[in-house]
Amino acid sequence: MSRRLLALSSLLLLAAGCRHANLPDLPASHGALSMAMDRYAHDRASSYDNYTPTPASLFEEEPQVIVEPDQALAVFTEAIGTLSGSPTEQQVRLAADDLKAACLSGLPEACAFLRERFEPPRKLNGAVPDFPREVLQRQIFTVGALRCRLGVNGMLRDCKVLESGAEGVAESLLEFTTRGKFQPATLAGHPIDLPYTFQVQFAPARTDAPMGKMLLPEKQLEWARARAAHSPESPLAWGNLAVQLAKRAPEDRWYREALNHFQELAPASWWAANEVAWLHVREGRYADAAPLVKRARAIESDNPYILETFAAVMAGTNQCEQAVHEQRRAVEKLPADWPAPERERFTRALEDYQRGCPKADATPASEPPR
């Protein structure tokens, strides 16, 4: 059996299948539906059970500057001017920082620039980690994960083990970092250094092998709990647990804890930020929800479930026109074949906001209130 079996995933669990993204079955939790929408909209082929929407992103690191809303346009203009020339590596980092800060301050042009002009890293050579012989011979189900920095030279450095897996797996991963070669991330065509988290997973073909039964659907949640408990610093472990709970047991008390841990460890996850915000909304904690949903909306602007959360926050903070606008956008962005009960629920919310804000209908859906 080949010891080079697995490809890398960037801040994602490896796909356990190749099922095409499809429409969700109801009933489903808000978290499960927002995930399903992302898979539907982007035609993602990853396994639902192993899905954690956390791609490599500049938002993995907080900006080192704070930009006030009235300064954001000037900061944005200066940053893109820098990037349009031949900036140094340091200037690229500073421009990226300014763009993130402008985006998080509420400037949509900055958010759009970061989404459209950022290219994530990709692996170039065929090198993959070698699994220890015992893992292959005994068919042990195992996961290993590292968090590194990926430099502008395409090389990994400063790696930290997040999940050690079976004996020898962590060492195999660390050895791989000396051989793996990547196309670095770029912003407006300029290479940029950023955090990079990856994992490998070995899934035995035999269900009678040690821990092979953990691959069965009824055991996946059990495994996810154990994995998060064993690797509390791994965003991948907490993300996997949160995803499993969103699908199977959203009322479980661990769902909130898993989401909170995932959001803290993976600040670029729009999904975690939005779903933590949604839990706050359900409790009437709009001030706590606001910064989280604003971050989610900055990173992923078109998911109707983010727009729904944002609209609820606006309504809860007496910004009725913005609430109507965001909920109208959410309704418009639902696919025509999305489950009818969800379309009806979104429409009822819009009607509720409109009744409380009669002037809002004067605002065109395509232009947010200023």
| pLDDT value of position 14 | 32
Q: How far apart are CA 173 and CA 178, in angstroms?
A: 9
Residue whose pair of structure tokens reads 């989404």 in the numeric block: 115
Question: Which contacts qualify for 216-220: CB closer than 8 Å, 24 or more apart?
Answer: 217/49, 220/49, 220/244
Residue 201 vs residue 34, higher pLDDT: 34
Would you place residue 364 in the very low, low, confident or very high pLDDT band (cuts 50, 70, 90)?
very low
Number of structural domains (the chain) is: 3
Domain end point (choices 67, 87, 118): 118
| pLDDT value of position 17 | 36
H/E segment holding residue 304: helix 304-316
| 153 falls within a domain | yes
Residues 317, 176 share a domain: no
| pLDDT value of position 223 | 87
Residues 335, 195 share a domain: no
CATH code of residue 331: 1.25.40.10
Would you place residue 128 in the very low, low, confident or very high pLDDT band (cuts 50, 70, 90)?
confident
Residue 335 has pLDDT above 90, yes or no: yes
Residues 198, 101 share a domain: no
Would you place residue 126 in the very low, low, confident or very high pLDDT band (cuts 50, 70, 90)?
confident
Coil, helix or strand at residue 38? helix
| 274 falls within a domain | yes
Q: How far apart are CA 262 and CA 275, in angstroms?
A: 11
Residue 9 has pLDDT above 70, yes or no: no
What number is the average pLDDT over the span 236-250? Answer: 93
| 33 falls within a domain | yes
Least confident of 138-142, 155-159, 363-367: 363-367
What's this model's pTM, rounded to 2 decimal places? 0.84
Residue 246 vs residue 129, higher pLDDT: 246
Question: pLDDT for 255-271, tens place per residue?
Answer: 999 999 999 999 999 99
Instruction: Write down how long the chain is.
Output: 370
Q: How far apart are CA 243 and CA 318, in angstroms?
A: 32
| pLDDT value of position 45 | 52
| pLDDT value of position 100 | 96
Q: Among 102, 59, 62, which Cα is nearest to 82's?
A: 102
Would you place residue 167 in the very low, low, confident or very high pLDDT band (cuts 50, 70, 90)?
confident
Cis preceding-peptide flag for 27 (omega within 30 of 0): yes
As a whole number, the mean pLDDT across the chain is 85
Q: How far apart are CA 241 and CA 172, in angstroms?
A: 25
Residue range(s) defining the domain that contains residue 93: 58-118
Residues 356, 279 share a domain: yes
